[in-house]
C-alpha cells in the first residue's frame, strides 16, 4: 500500500472535502489550524485601522478617516497579498532561500550604518537610524531580520542534535549575534530583546536541554548589573524611572515618565466597557499622548473599549498564537515546526513587552504592538508571518516520516 493510501486522512480515491490534492510526500488540506491565525490577524487589523483613526482624528464626521489610518489600511492590503504569495510555494523552498534572505537583511542593516548616506534616505529619528526612506515607503530592515532569523535558525536546526550539548549551542548563538549586533548599533535595544525568547522557544522545540538554557539565563541575569554602566543615558533613565513608578512615586510624571503615566491614565479612562466614540476621541486629544497611534495604541484600545476590549484584543493574540502552535504540533516536518514556534515566540514577546509598557509594568523601550501599531514594515511582516503559518498548516507531510527531535534521555 502506498504512503498516501495508508495515511489516516488521505486514502486512495478519497473525496473528503478537506483534502485538496496529494503529492508524493505531502497533501494539501483545506481545514487546518492556520485559519485561526488568519481570522485573528484580520480582526486585529480592522481594530488597528479604526483605533488609529480614533487616536489621530478628533472629528466624528462619517465617511472620513485620518490619513495614517488609510495608509495602515493600504499597508494591510499589501500585507495580505504578501501573505498569499508566501503561502503559495512549498515552505521547504522558502527554507532553501532563508540564508539569502538573511544576507539581504544583513546588507540592509549595514546600509543603515554606512557613512555618507544622505539624510533624505536614512535619517536619525530620536537618535536611532532604523528606517530606509524609499520615497513611497519607509522600510525598517529589523522587521525583515526577524523573519530571516527564524527561517535560518529553523533551517540550521532541522536535522541536528548538536544543540543538545552545551557547546553545541554556540553556533546557534553566533547566528543570532549577527542581526542582534547590527540592530544594537542603530541603537534599538527593544527589538534586540525580542530575539532572545524567539530563539529559546525554537531551541526548546528542537530538543535543547532545559538545564543548559537555564544556565545561560542565570549567567545573563548575574551579568546584567555589570552591563548597566555601559547603557546609554536615556536607557539608564528609563530603568530608574520604572523603579520609581513601581514604588508608587510620581517623580518624572511630567518628564521621563510622562508617556507611561499618560498611557495608564488614558487606558484607565475606559473603565470596564469603554467610552463612546466622540468621548474617547476627546480624551485622547486632550491627554496629548505621544506615539498614541504607534507604541501606545493599546491604551487607545482600552480608552475606547475599556478593560473588556483590552482583554478581547489579548484573546485575539492568543487565538493567533494557538493557530501557530497547533500548526507546529501537527507538523511532522522539523523545519515547519520550528518556523511556527519561532514566529509565535516573536509575536508573544512583542505583545507582552508592549502591553507591559502601556500599563506601567515595563520600561518604555519603543516596541510596537503587532497588527495594531501604525507602520508599514511591521504590518507587512506580521502578515508574512501569518502567510507562513498557513503555508505550513495546509501542507501536511505523509508517512513515512523522518524522525525529528526525538531524542532518548
Give the model's pLDDT for residue 130: 86
Residue 134: CB atoms within 10 A of its CB come to 10
H or E element in which residue 377 lies = helix 376-394
Residue 128 clears pLDDT 90, i.e. is over it:
no
Residue 254 clears pLDDT 60, i.e. is over it:
yes
Residue 208 inside a domain? The answer is yes
Confidence of residue 247 (pLDDT cuts 50, 70, 90): low
> If you search the block for the grid coordinates 517623580, which residue do you land on?
251
Confidence of residue 22 (pLDDT cuts 50, 70, 90): low
* Sign of the alpha-carbon dihedral angle for 9, 15, 18, 21: positive
According to DSSP, the residues that pair with 249 across neighbouring strands are: none
Residue 218 inside a domain? The answer is yes
Residue 384: CB atoms within 10 A of its CB come to 21
Q: Calculate mean pLDDT across residues 161-176.
A: 88
Residue 168 clears pLDDT 80, i.e. is over it:
yes
Q: Report the alpha-carbon distance of residue 350 to residue 73 in Å, rounded.
A: 21
Residue 347 clears pLDDT 80, i.e. is over it:
yes
Q: Report the alpha-carbon distance of residue 72 to residue 57 in Å, rounded.
A: 14
Buried/exposed code over 318-346 (b: 16+ C-beta within 10 A; e: otherwise): ebbbebbbbbbebbbbbbbbbbbbbbbbb
Residue of 309, 222, 227, 300 whose CA lies nearest to 264 = 300
Residue 308: CB atoms within 10 A of its CB come to 14
Residue 402 inside a domain? The answer is no
Residue 5 inside a domain? The answer is no
Residue of 404, 205, 406, 210 whose CA lies nearest to 324 = 205
Q: Calculate mean pLDDT across residues 370-398.
A: 92
Residue 133 inside a domain? The answer is yes
Confidence of residue 351 (pLDDT cuts 50, 70, 90): very high
Give the model's pLDDT for residue 137: 82
Distance of CA 118 to the CA centre of its chain: 30
pLDDT, greater one: 404 or 297: 297
Q: Calculate mean pLDDT across residues 278-300.
A: 87
Q: Calculate mean pLDDT across residues 208-225.
A: 83
C-alpha angle with apex 208: 205 to 213, nearest 5 degrees?
110
pLDDT in tens, 219-231: 877 776 776 666 6
Q: Calculate mean pLDDT across residues 270-286.
A: 86
pLDDT, greater one: 256 or 112: 112
Residue 398 clears pLDDT 60, i.e. is over it:
yes
Radius of gyration of the chain (CA): 22
Q: Report the alpha-carbon distance of residue 236 to residue 215 in Å, rounded.
A: 26
Q: Indicate the average pLDDT of the chain.
A: 84
196 contacts: CB under 8 Å, gap ≥ 6: 349
Residue 108 inside a domain? The answer is yes
Confidence of residue 339 (pLDDT cuts 50, 70, 90): very high
Confidence of residue 120 (pLDDT cuts 50, 70, 90): confident
Phi, psi of 300 (to 5 degrees): -65, -40
Can you state the angle between helices 67-87 and 34-56, rounded to 10 degrees?
170
Residue 331 clears pLDDT 80, i.e. is over it:
yes
Number of domains in the chain: 1
pLDDT, greater one: 277 or 308: 308
Give the model's pLDDT for residue 15: 44
Residue 298 clears pLDDT 50, i.e. is over it:
yes
Q: Is the Cβ–Cβ distance between 182 and 333 less than 8 Å?
A: no
pLDDT, greater one: 357 or 252: 357
Confidence of residue 372 (pLDDT cuts 50, 70, 90): very high
Confidence of residue 345 (pLDDT cuts 50, 70, 90): very high
Q: Which domain holds residue 63?
A: 32-397
Residue 79 inside a domain? The answer is yes
Residue 56 inside a domain? The answer is yes
Amino acid at each position: 500500500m502506498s504512503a498516501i493510501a495508508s495515511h489516516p486522512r488521505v486514502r486512495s480515491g478519497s473525496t473528503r472535502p478537506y483534502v485538496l490534492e496529494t503529492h508524493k510526500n505531502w497533501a494539501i488540506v483545506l481545514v487546518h489550524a492556520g485559519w485561526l491565525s488568519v481570522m485573528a490577524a484580520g480582526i486585529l487589523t480592522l481594530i488597528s485601522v479604526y483605533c488609529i483613526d480614533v487616536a489621530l482624528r478628533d472629528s466624528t464626521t462619517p465617511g472620513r478617516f485620518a490619513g495614517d489610518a488609510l495608509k495602515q489600511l493600504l499597508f494591510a492590503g499589501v500585507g495580505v497579498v504578501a501573505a498569499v504569495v508566501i503561502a503559495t510555494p512549498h515552505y521547504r523552498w522558502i527554507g532553501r532561500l532563508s540564508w539569502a534572505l538573511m544576507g539581504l537583511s544583513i546588507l540592509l542593516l549595514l546600509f543603515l550604518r554606512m557613512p555618507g548616506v544622505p539624510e533624505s534616505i536614512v535619517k536619525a529619528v530620536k537618535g536611532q537610524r532604523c528606517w530606509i526612506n524609499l520615497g513611497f515607503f519607509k522600510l525598517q530592515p529589523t522587521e525583515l531580520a526577524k523573519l530571516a532569523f527564524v527561517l535560518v535558525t529553523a533551517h540550521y536546526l532541522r536535522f541536528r542534535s548538536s544543540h543538545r550539548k552545551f557547546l553545541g549551542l554556540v553556533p546557534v548563538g553566533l547566528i543570532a549575534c549577527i542581526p542582534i549586533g547590527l540592530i544594537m548599533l542603530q541603537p534599538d535595544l527593544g527589538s534586540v530583546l525580542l530575539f532572545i525568547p524567539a530563539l529559546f522557544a525554537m531551541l526548546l522545540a528542537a530538543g535543547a536541554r532545559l538545564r543548559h538554557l537555564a544556565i545561560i539565563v542565570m549567567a545573563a541575569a548575574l551579568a546584567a548589573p555589570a552591563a548597566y554602566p555601559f547603557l546609554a543615558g536615556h536607557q539608564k533613565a528609563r530603568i530608574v524611572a520604572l523603579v520609581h513608578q513601581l514604588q508608587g512615586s510620581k517623580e518624572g510624571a511630567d518628564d521621563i515618565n510622562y508617556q507611561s503615566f499618560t498611557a495608564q491614565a488614558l487606558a484607565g479612562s475606559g473603565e470596564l466597557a469603554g467610552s463612546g466614540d466622540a468621548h474617547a476621541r476627546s480624551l485622547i486629544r486632550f491627554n496629548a499622548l505621544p506615539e498614541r497611534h504607534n507604541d501606545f495604541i493599546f491604551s487607545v484600545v482600552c480608552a475606547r473599549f475599556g478593560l473588556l476590549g483590552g482583554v478581547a484584543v489579548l484573546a485575539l493574540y492568543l487565538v493567533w498564537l494557538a493557530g501557530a502552535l497547533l500548526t507546529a504540533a501537527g507538523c511532522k516536518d522539523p523545519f515547519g515546526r520550528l518556523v511556527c514556534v519561532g514566529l509565535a515566540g516573536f509575536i508573544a514577546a512583542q505583545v507582552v513587552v508592549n502591553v507591559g509598557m502601556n500599563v506601567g509594568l515595563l520600561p518604555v523601550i519603543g516596541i510596537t504592538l503587532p497588527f495594531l501599531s501604525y507602520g508599514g514594515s511591521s504590518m507587512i511582516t506580521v502578515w508574512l508571518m501569518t502567510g507562513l503559518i498557513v503555508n505550513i498548516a495546509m501542507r501536511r507531510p505523509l508517512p513515512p516520516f523522518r524522525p525529528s527531535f526525538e531524542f532518548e534521555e
